[in-house]
Amino acid sequence: MYKLKEIADNVFYVGVNDRQKALFENMWSLPYGVSYNSYLIRDEKSVLIDTVDVCYSDIFLKKIADVLDGKPLDYLVVDHMEPDHAGSIHLLRQQYPDVQIIGNKFTTGMLEGFHGITTGIKEVKEGETLSIGSRELTFYMAPMVHWPEVMVTYDSKDKILFSADAFGTYGTLDGGVIDEEMNVDHYWEEMYRYYSNIVGKYGNPVQRTLQKLAPLEIKSICSTHEPVWREHIQKAIHIYDQLSRYEGENGVVIIYGSMYGNTEQMAETIAASLANNGVKNIVMHNVSKSLASYILKDVFKYKGVIIGAPTYCNSLYPEVESILSKIELREVKNRYYGYFGSYSWAGTAVKRLAAFGADMNWEIVGAPVEERQALKAGKYEECFVLGEAMASKLKNI
């Protein structure tokens, strides 16, 4: 029998850790793994909040059975239908055929589409409540954070917000479940990375949801990924608020591609100039080595972005083009932007980088630098001036 963690009296953590998966959504690296969080409330009626990835359904179902101890499961609340949280719904329904599934109008279609489930579903609307004994659960819609069917569930008795993917991070839960019983330092950078990779495009919906939930008294946030936030609730909310407003911190991320080292020398020169002019937060990403999830994290984190690339086959260096498309997809706003490039016989890279900045509606800082073949003294000075211009701009924010 599992000795399961209680988040509050008769509110149990029944989630699982995934230390096997290498890529989240088959794209984003998971060096620290990931958890799939689910919570079971035992009251006059029993309520399960979300499920887990189907790969871990055996462990998950055993935990539920241990908490229920022979009693029925009355309700499953589906706050989010993404398969890492809804993957075990079909097997859960087989185990508990009388369980009533609670979701909104968008959930219904997805239940049929993913699992062929069309019966035993209770549709709830904004602000609707469910009494389960000593507790009353209230449902708030949070569309596009980060799927259209997302909602959150609030337990007014213990002031718990079951927040779906909101306020989640990457990383497993290595023993502890609640933030106050563990060292959470490494989760903060992973929260930036998780937000930029998964939620990034949907800043406005996140803002609307934060404003909707602001009047609630919240003592615990139970996300579907990683720690239950209690001691650090305000910091978690602040990070999501900052990122969803696209409010970058004072610093610069330099993103570059280089085939033979010439463009890299331009990047190095710009970085040295930034440092000489007082910028302390400087992150450099070689696109041929840095993983996209980390590059995106720093684009969301810092106010200044400088991108450089060589021309390749009369176009932009492909690995830089790839990261540009990922940034464009997320519609990152309000960045200061500089760019540079090189070529051997026909220059195209700088033109493409200029078009990217215009498409993003970013503020251009400094003059772009374009070098033919190896870096020369005059262009070295231009790179240094570009760094100075970005540093000067950042001093005024």
Structure confidence by residue, pLDDT tens digits, 107-157: 999 999 999 999 999 999 999 999 999 999 999 999 999 999 999 999 999
227 contacts 184 by C-beta, under 8 angstroms: yes
pLDDT tens figures, 215-260:
999 999 999 999 999 999 999 999 999 999 999 999 999 999 999 8
Find the mean pLDDT for residues 323-331. Answer: 97
pLDDT for the residue numbered 372: 82
Whether the link from the prior residue into 285 is cis, omega within 30° of 0, is no
Asked whether the predicted pLDDT for residue 1 surpasses 70, the reply is: no
Query: To the nearest whole number, what is the mean pLDDT of the chain?
Result: 96
Question: What would the pLDDT profile of 352-378 be if each residue is shown by its tens digit?
Answer: 999 999 999 999 999 999 888 877 888
Mean pLDDT value across residues 178-191: 97
> Residue written as tokens 């305000």?
234
Per-residue pLDDT at 281 exceeds 70: yes
Binned at pLDDT 50, 70 and 90, residue 2 comes out as low
Angle between helices 377-395 and 262-276 (to 10 degrees): 40
Instruction: Output the pLDDT for position 388.
Output: 97
Rounded CA gap, 373 and 257, in Å?
14
265-291 average pLDDT score: 97
Q: How much is the pTM?
A: 0.94
